[in-house]
Amino acid sequence: MTSCTKRMGTTRHALYLYLCTLLAQNLGAYAILPESNLGSWSVLRDVAFGAQAGNSSGACESLANPEESIWFKDLTWTDCYQTLNKSMQCSRLLVPLNYSAPLSNTNNASIALLRIPSTYPPSHPSYRGPILFNPGGPGGSGVDLVLGVGDTLQQIVGDEFDVVGFDPRGVGRSLPRIDLFTDRVQRALFTTTEGLIDPEREKDVFGKYLGRAGIIGQLAQRVDGNGSGYLRFMQTDHTARDMLRITEKHGKDKLQYWGFSYGSVLGASFAAMFPDKVGRLIIDGVVDAEDYFATRWANNLLDSNKTMQWFFDSCYQAGPSNCPFYASSPQAISERLTKLYDKIKVQPVPIVDFSDPSLSPTGLVDNAILRSVVFLSLYDPFTQFVPLAKGLAELEKGNATTIWGMWNKDQPQFRCSCGNDEALKFESINDDLPGIMCTDGNPIPGTLEDTEAHYTELRKTSEWAEIWENLRIRCSSWPKFPRTFFQGPFEANTSHPLLLIGNTADPVTPLASAKKMSKGYPGSVVLTQDSPGHASLSGPSVCTVKYVREYFLNGTLPPEGTVCPLISPPIPTNQTQSGNGTSKAIISREGGGADKELEELAYRLNREYRLPRMV
């Protein structure tokens, strides 16, 4: 703090520090970065490991990004992140910013990559090349994914493969990075005034959200420089071409890939654009790509009410000793939650809690925050349903500690850098979400009438329409770049058939989307995982992990109509906790002790990483 204070010699610096501290206290944990560290490292967001990993600011600082010079190599691998894994290597790959022109000093982008190399050298006959991973978003960091669970992923797919995470163009450590604001304080100030849409008065605030989207659109126009900037090239078409370059730089002709959520749009685009370049391609938590590029966002919530029903059913089956929000039937639990919503609408609960330095100590849990917490828990039932049940029961009694903690850990942490943003140049920002999805998608009218009509249609399929509508609103004033890039059709005879994975109750990528997308790729198979949550990582299944391993190693597809069970329910029952129930029965039926390793790997993926959430 001393070195920071000494540098506050001007009114501007003093004001910056004041705003930093004020924002940090309202947005979450904060830290003043020592002057000696500026420029040498940057803080990793906890998204790299999932909030359940419980990273403190100290832990984040110890997992520093490597020196900037390491990233400026044309796929020359350099050891990095050695405190996590001694075998991790970093690099950047230069690619054309605009693929309609050759790579040059004025037409280039740098794609950041992190890999855990195969235990076999490339010259060895057992070496199988790289598998590329994308966690979704758009805007999710593949580097963070491999940082968090790269070891586990390699144990699943096999050490014959390099496990490679990359930050898509415009994201994270890749350059140029989508950045609409002149500094991070301005971005944080804009974010703090956004608020949430209350379902009781959603149409009253659509005008405000459209106005805020107008600001974002003007900022994007400024960054793009009326055609001379980079934003128009931050789209899925060019990222698919980047993946082909990465594959070729590894000395391979065909892509091997596992993409989640938005990563399914990227994977499906690659398969349609380069069907003869598909080696192995899994898309998991599948988005309706036609709906995505049309900027309709109409199909995502089709199964969200099913996911909510899993909470009611699981809580009832777990019983009062394991689910604090228990009632006499699933319907009674649903009614109990509705009563809690009604109560919080008129009597929000204040929170003052300094026990966790990683969280904002003060706040107010109102109906909008409560509903957001419930909705976000649907992404990750196996890590979130238990604390959700506890938090709801506490909130009924006027205790908001658990619900506030769940909400706070999903919000961006703000860290002060004494006026120098160099130390935070890789911190996660949300400009890349509209930067990619709005550039990808067709322009929308952006009128109040269009927004209300779209919202009304969403309400017919899901109770969460007010949360989802804000995603589409963000594109309402986005610059109307020429749509000369690939937007479909999503159909091709690929050189190897695709594997699509969908959950029976995914809140944002319904199983129907996987089945629809599969029809465009002859020979592809949809593997169904009988679970709630977003994509297969949200629910531990030995069966799913087995099929993924076999697909990458041997190219084997599961039989049509295969449905994979879970190891255990989202809220443990007395039977599953004792080890004599569901988990043991499934393991025994699928191969006994040989599956114990896969069981642990499936649990580890579920516990240690959460896919990016769009809301």
List, for residues 466-485, the tens digit of each pLDDT value. Answer: 889 989 999 999 999 988 89
Average pLDDT over residues 453-457: 93
- For residue 532, name the pLDDT band (cuts at 50, 70, 90): very high
Q: Would you say residue 188 lies in a domain? A: no
Mean of pLDDT over the chain = 83
538 within domain boundaries: no
Total domains in the fold of the chain: 1
178, 257, 258: which is closest to 219 by C-alpha?
A: 178
Instruction: Annotate 364-392 with b (16+ C-beta within 10 A) or e (fewer).
Output: ebbbbbbbbbbbbbbbbbbbbbbbbbbbb
Asked if residue 403 is part of any domain, the answer here is: yes
Contact criterion met (CB below 8 Å) for 109 and 93: no
What residues make up the domain containing 323?
Answer: 304-408
| 220 within domain boundaries | no
More confident residue, 191 or 79: 79
Confidence of residue 129 (pLDDT cuts 50, 70, 90): very high
The model's pLDDT over 238-269, given as tens digits with 9 standing for 90+, comes to 999 999 999 999 999 999 999 999 999 999 99
CB 546 within 8 A of CB 395: no
Q: Which long-range contacts (CB under 8 A, 24 or more apart) does 200-209 make?
A: 200/345, 200/367, 202/455, 202/465, 202/466, 202/469, 203/452, 203/455, 206/448, 206/451, 206/452, 206/455, 206/469, 206/473, 207/448, 209/470, 209/473
**Does 320 fall in a domain?**
yes
pLDDT digits (tens, 9 = 90+) for 396-454: 999 999 999 998 876 655 555 544 455 455 555 678 899 999 999 999 998 999 999 99
Distance CA 481, CA 443 (A): 9
352 falls within a domain = yes
Residues with Cβ within 8 Å of 221's Cβ and at least 6 positions away in sequence, in order, are 479
Sequence letter at residue 246:
I
Tell me the DSSP string of 428-472.
--STHHHHHHHHHSPP----HHHHHHHHHHHHTT-TTHHHHHHHH
Place of tokens 């008065």: 201
How many angstroms separate the first and last alpha carbons of the chain?
34
Please answer whether residues 517 and 491 qualify as being in contact, where contact means their C-beta atoms are separated by less than 8 angstroms: no
pLDDT at 61: 36
pLDDT at 608: 87
324 is a domain residue? yes
Query: Taking residues 283-297, what's their average pLDDT?
Result: 97
Query: What angle do helix axes 381-396 and 330-346 make, rounded to 10 degrees?
Result: 60
Among residues 259, 255, 262, 257, the alpha carbon closest in space to that of 293 is found at 262
pLDDT at 557 over 60: yes
551 backbone φψ class: left, alpha, beta (φ>0; ψ -120 to 50): alpha
Contact 90, 213 (CB under 8 A): no
Q: Whole-angstrom Cα distance, residue 350 to residue 570?
A: 29
Answer yes or no: is 552 within a domain.
no
3-state secondary structure of 376: helix
Task: For the chain, state the CA radius of gyration.
Answer: 24
pLDDT band at 183 (very low <50, low <70, confident <90, very high): confident
Triad 167, 168, 174: Cα angle to 5°: 60
pLDDT at site 549: 96
Q: Cβ atoms within 10 A of the Cβ of 198, count?
A: 16
> Which pLDDT score is estimated for 64?
55
